[in-house]
Copies of this chain bind each other. A is one copy, B any other.
């Protein structure tokens, strides 16, 4: 299904970030729109000046090596693991069912819908399960950790325990760590050489640069060779290589960004609680909140130029990204104050 048809079918449950669709559905909303529908850091990594060669030359081995070194260190990947770069974590979610086909897939739910969609599209039988133990019978298990949208977190030791029985029969546990950057101690990237693990990392979310399209699969060398063969040469653009290598090496920025986002997340929780939402969870890049008839609240906020994220399967849930500036905080606060009179 293309992004276009998804938004037409059900705008409330499309991917976040579809401001263009929101503008069409709510043409009278005040400008500018405030996009709280994604889990993208609103304080983006400062864009460095880019040399022309970043665009005018094919990315070369040196550029890939620089990115590899920075990513390996940022993620704590062991020397025995491969760190495969690609055009976003989504690119790997699309590719894994084709490169490592499987019949029975179990996904720890409720979670990001693309895992189930991509496995099902390749003919796998996909079950959404509620417990780690229930992953054990499948050929492939999927854990989004921390989970999107509710932030549920699985301890590294529990992930390794879930992977162990899979390794005994060639199974694979996919751990999607797209929102792990600010809680590195909870990552299993340091175990990524394990033959039964594939760890996915997203660059764009924590660094606020999703337009770059950069993500990684951390895995054994053998699995990495298969992913690289499927990706082919030059799977990452020159701008993504240059900016990614620089940003991933910037530990000081990451520490500051983690602190700033944690502060924003706490401020958002307070605001939502005041508006009689119950905080379900989330990460420091987004908060999931519950309230009866949340979908009406979605429409009320959208009419005021504030785009949030609803879930067809969970009509009481709304997910909120971090407001990007004080003006956005003020508009959100005013809208939430008046929501019951709307």
**Residues of A with Cβ closer than 8 Å to B?**
1-4, 7, 15-21, 35, 38, 40, 44, 47, 52-62, 64, 87-88, 90-91, 93-94, 98, 114, 118, 121, 204, 208-213, 225, 228-240, 243
Which listed residue, B44, B60, B234, touches A20 by the CB 8 Å rule? B60
Q: Which residues of B contact A2 (CB under 8 A)?
A: 225, 228-229, 233
A286 to chain B, nearest CB (A): 14
Contact A61 B211, beta carbon cutoff 8 Å: no
Tell me whether A234 and B213 are in contact (CB under 8 A): yes
Bound-complex Cα distance A339 to B94 (A): 50
Check if A38 sits within 8 Å of B58, measured CB to CB.
yes
A239: contacting residue among B53, B210, B239, CB under 8 A: B239
Chain B residues in 8 Å Cβ range of A62? 20
Residue from the list B40, B47, B114 in contact with A52, Cβ < 8 A: B47
Say how many copies of this protein the assembly contains.
Answer: 2
Q: A209–B55 contact, CB under 8 A?
A: yes
Task: Tell me if A55 and B44 are in contact (CB < 8 A).
Answer: yes
Which of B15, B53, B56, B121 lies in contact with A233, CB distance below 8 A?
B15
Contact B55 A3 (CB under 8 A): no
Closest CB in chain B relative to A313 CB, distance in Å: 20
- On whether the beta carbons of A56 and B38 are closer than 8 Å, the reply is no
Across-interface contacts of A4 in B (CB, < 8 A): 61, 64
Q: How far is the CA of A77 from the CA of B303 in the complex (A)?
A: 39
Q: How far is the CB of A36 from the nearest CB of chain B, in Å?
A: 13
Q: Assess whether B61 is in contact with A18, with CB atoms less than 8 Å apart.
A: yes
Contacts of A208 in B (CB 8 A): 56
Q: Are A18 and B60 in contact (CB under 8 A)?
A: yes
Judge whether B44 and A52 touch: CB under 8 Å: yes
Residues A60 and B17 in contact in the complex (CB < 8 Å), given A44-B52, A118-B232, A229-B1:
yes
B237 lies within 8 A of A211 (CB): yes
Nearest to A21 among chain B residues (CB) is B61
Cα A160 to Cα B91 in complex, Å, equals: 34
Considering only CB atoms, which chain B residue lies closest to A17 in the complex?
A: B58
What chain B residues lie within 8 Å of A87 (beta carbons)?
87, 213, 234-235, 237
Among the listed B15, B64, B210, which residue makes an inter-chain contact with A3, where contact means beta carbons less than 8 Å apart? B64
- Known: A55-B44, A211-B58. Contact between A90 and B233, CB under 8 A? yes
Residues in B neighbouring A17, C-beta threshold 8 A: 57-58, 60
Across-interface contacts of A212 in B (CB, < 8 A):
55, 237-239
Cβ-defined contact, A210 with B57, below 8 A: yes
Instruction: Kindly provide the distance from the CB of A162 to the nearest chain B CB, expressed in whole angstroms.
Output: 26
- Is B58 touching A232 in the complex (CB atoms < 8 A)? no
Residues of chain B with a CB closer than 8 A to A118's CB: 232
Q: Are A58 and B1 also in contact (CB < 8 A) when A230-B98, A233-B15 are?
A: no
Contacts A2-B228, A237-B237 known; 6 new A-B pairs at CB < 8 A: A17-B60, A21-B60, A54-B211, A56-B210, A57-B211, A87-B235
Contact A90–B211 (Cβ < 8 Å): no
CB distance from A100 to the nearest CB of B (A): 13
A12 nearest CB across to chain B (Å): 16
Complex formed: what's the CA distance from A3 to B210 in Å? 26
- Known interface pairs A52-B47, A211-B239. Does A94 touch B230 (Cβ–Cβ under 8 Å)? yes
